[in-house]
A and B are shown apart, each in its own frame.
Chain A
Amino acid sequence: MLIRIFPWTLLLVLALFPLVAPLFDFTYYVGFVRHLLIVMIAATSLNFILGYGGMAALGHAGFIGVGAYTVVALVDAGFTSAWGAWATALIVSAAFAAAIGAVSLRTQGVYFLMLTLAFSQMLYYLAVSLRTYGGDDGYGLHTPLTLGLGLGDAQGRILYWLVLAIAALLFAFLNRVAVSRFGYALRGVRENETRMAALGYPVYWIKFTAFTVAGAVAGLAGALLACHNRFVSPSLMHWTESATLLVIVVIGGLGRRWGAPLGAAVWLTLAEVLKLYTDYWRWPLGLLLILIVFFAPKGMAALLDNRGKSP
């Protein structure tokens, strides 16, 4: 019963948060939660290929960057519709993910990890070299994108609610995929690729499809992040960002429904709190990662899941 109503309660609480926050002088945290939700989208997409598909990609931030720079390119060209920009970001990053996946997925394990890293580094340096879009200094989106439909600009609480809706829908969608025929096939590939091929599964295309979907979703997260920050710079796709996403998914719980959201929430909240007390906020986080790896290798979501198995 609790499990059934929990997601809806959480959604309701998150939806009411921007209305309640001003009463307690928490307005700053509306932006924080909005950022958190965007990171959750990206982490959930990584969990889809890493947790369910067993593909250890270390270049996921590259797709976030592709999505963000798609928005920059459109704004720079005088385009102003948020919907159009987000949809374009989704498509463009899907195309990049398909191209990068087509090459990287021919390898496995460490080689796959190195290739995805290499491609995301290429994207990083490409962004650095793009003088038109500010190069190293980044690009400021001075006016917010417009939503139309009487919703005004893509900023503030409206943007918060849209991000929440998109995060919730994508979360539901990817969890639905996990129990579909495709989801079972994907987990089979994670467990035993050779056997899957011998059973008659087109292993490569299964991985390719998952990788492309995950890249597209990460790109959408990047587009939302561009609107959230109103600023885009190459640091968005620095390889440490990819590594942080990886860590978030691992501490949250690989291949677990609540793994990515939980990991993102804990990681970002701890970072936020620790920053208040010390400049050396990274080392307690490192300690947390070590503790999780040793004492709860299946992640925090596994600790909460008393059934003890993935969906």
Chain B
Amino acid sequence: MSLFIAEGLFKHFGGLIAVDRVSLTVEPGEIHALIGPNGAGKTTLVNVISGLLPLDAGRIILDGVDLTALPPHQRVRHGLSRSFQITRVFNNDSVLDNLLLAVQAQTGSSFRIFGRRADKSGLRERAIELAQQVGLGEALDRIARALPHGAQRQLDVALALAAQPKLLLLDEPLAGMGPEDVAEMVALIQRLCAETAILLIEHDMDAVFQLADRISVLDYGRVLTSGDVAYIRDHPEVQAVYLGTEAAR
């Protein structure tokens, strides 16, 4: 059985159908990329999978557990973690404080009101480990807001990684990045797939072709087709819908 199964996901906003009976799977250790033109429903799909938006119909199963009815924070507990297209880090805090907060969520109750959090050292070690993993080991004391864009994106991914997910949803991790940052992030994603399966939503076709084991093409909220890199690259309909629009721009 697949690690992750999404079955007949359906979401509409009034008359607009954003996600139209989408089914997809992710195998263990796999990077499954999801591409599609702007407005194809990619971000909505990530939001319904992570639980930030309620589903109208469909089922979500991760590692044999049905997550459909669970609120977002419980989906994280079951190993489904995500990053954000628009960076959502804690802007006013340092990189270390950002990561401490992320690690804290995974280690014991956050309803403890007695005892200083600072007295627990385990949190700190794990946070530093995460920073090093994404290449922010030297930037622990920098305030998140003051980091360059590429580093903020890395921090966003590190926050998602803190949950030690079974499936990591990366929502356009390369958005707005320069070539150097892209190369760094691509290398990071390649390293990550040793730890977790990844559902990668991305616009950058070079990166997708480089990273993905399997690609699904989304258009008007529907999965147009699915296949490996060579298949998608040569698929005439895909070229018309996606690569065509890209070339025309």
Chain A positions within 8 Å of B, measured between CB atoms, are 176-177, 179-185, 188, 191-192, 194-203, 205-206, 209
Select from chain B the residue with minimum beta-carbon distance to A188: B101
Q: A198-B81, A199-B163 are in contact. Are A180 and B88 (CB under 8 A)?
A: no
- For the residues of B in contact with A, the DSSP-based class is loop
Say yes or no: A194 contacts B88, CB within 8 Å: yes
Say yes or no: A197 contacts B104, CB within 8 Å: no
Contact string, B74-90, partner A, CB cutoff 8 A, digits 1/0?
00110001101000111
How many Å lie between the Cα of A192 and that of B163 in the bound state?
17
Q: A188-B90, A188-B101, A200-B77 are in contact. Are A195 and B84 (CB under 8 A)?
A: yes
Option from B72, B76, B117 in Cβ contact (under 8 Å) with A179: B117
How many Å lie between the Cα of A206 and that of B111 in the bound state?
7
Q: How far in angstroms is the closest Cβ of chain B from A292? A: 20
Select from chain B the residue with minimum beta-carbon distance to A195: B88
B224 within 8 A of A: no
Which residues of A lie under 8 Å from residue B50 when comparing CB positions? 198
How many Å lie between the Cα of A136 and that of B84 in the bound state?
54
Q: How far in angstroms is the closest Cβ of chain A from B112? A: 5
B contact residues, total (Cβ < 8 Å)? 38
Q: A199-B76, A199-B102 are in contact. Are A191 and B92 (CB under 8 A)?
A: yes
Say yes or no: B112 contacts A203, CB within 8 Å: no
Q: List 29 A-B contacts (CB under 8 A).
A: A176-B114, A177-B113, A179-B117, A180-B115, A180-B116, A181-B108, A181-B110, A181-B111, A181-B112, A181-B115, A182-B110, A183-B113, A184-B104, A184-B110, A184-B117, A191-B90, A191-B91, A191-B92, A191-B93, A194-B88, A196-B105, A197-B71, A198-B81, A198-B88, A198-B160, A199-B163, A200-B105, A201-B110, A202-B110
Q: How far in angstroms is the closest Cβ of chain B from A198? A: 6
Option from B51, B71, B115, B159 in Cβ contact (under 8 Å) with A195: B159
Interfacial residues of chain B within 39-79, with CB under 8 A of chain A in the complex: 50-52, 71-73, 76-77
Q: A200-B105, A201-B110 are in contact. Are A195 and B52 (CB under 8 A)?
A: no
How many Å lie between the Cα of A180 and that of B104 in the bound state?
11
How many Å lie between the Cα of A196 and that of B160 in the bound state?
11
Q: How far in angstroms is the closest Cβ of chain B from A286? A: 30
- For the residues of A in contact with B, the DSSP-based class is helix
Say yes or no: A192 contacts B114, CB within 8 Å: no
Say yes or no: B117 contacts A202, CB within 8 Å: no
How many Å lie between the Cα of A185 and that of B108 in the bound state?
12
Which residues of B lie under 8 Å from residue A192 when comparing CB positions? 88-90
Select from chain A the residue with minimum beta-carbon distance to B117: A181
Extra contacts, 9 of them, besides A180-B114, A206-B110 (Cβ < 8 A), are A181-B113, A188-B101, A198-B50, A198-B84, A199-B101, A199-B102, A199-B105, A199-B159, A200-B73
B248 within 8 A of A: no
Interfacial residues of chain B within 92-126, with CB under 8 A of chain A in the complex: 92-93, 100-102, 104-106, 108-118
Q: How far in angstroms is the closest Cβ of chain B from A188? A: 5
Q: How far in angstroms is the closest Cβ of chain A from B50? A: 6
How many Å lie between the Cα of A106 and that of B108 in the bound state?
25
Which residues of A lie under 8 Å from residue B89 when comparing CB positions? 192, 195
Which residues of A lie under 8 Å from residue B112 when comparing CB positions? 180-182
B162 within 8 A of A: yes
Say yes or no: A184 contacts B159, CB within 8 Å: no
Of all A-B residue pairs in the complex, the 9 with the closest CB atoms, nearest first, are A200-B76, A185-B110, A200-B105, A195-B88, A197-B72, A199-B105, A177-B113, A181-B112, A182-B113
How many Å lie between the Cα of A200 and that of B111 in the bound state?
13
Q: How far in angstroms is the closest Cβ of chain B from A257? A: 14
Say yes or no: B72 contacts A209, CB within 8 Å: no
Option from A180, A191, A196, A205 in Cβ contact (under 8 Å) with B117: A180
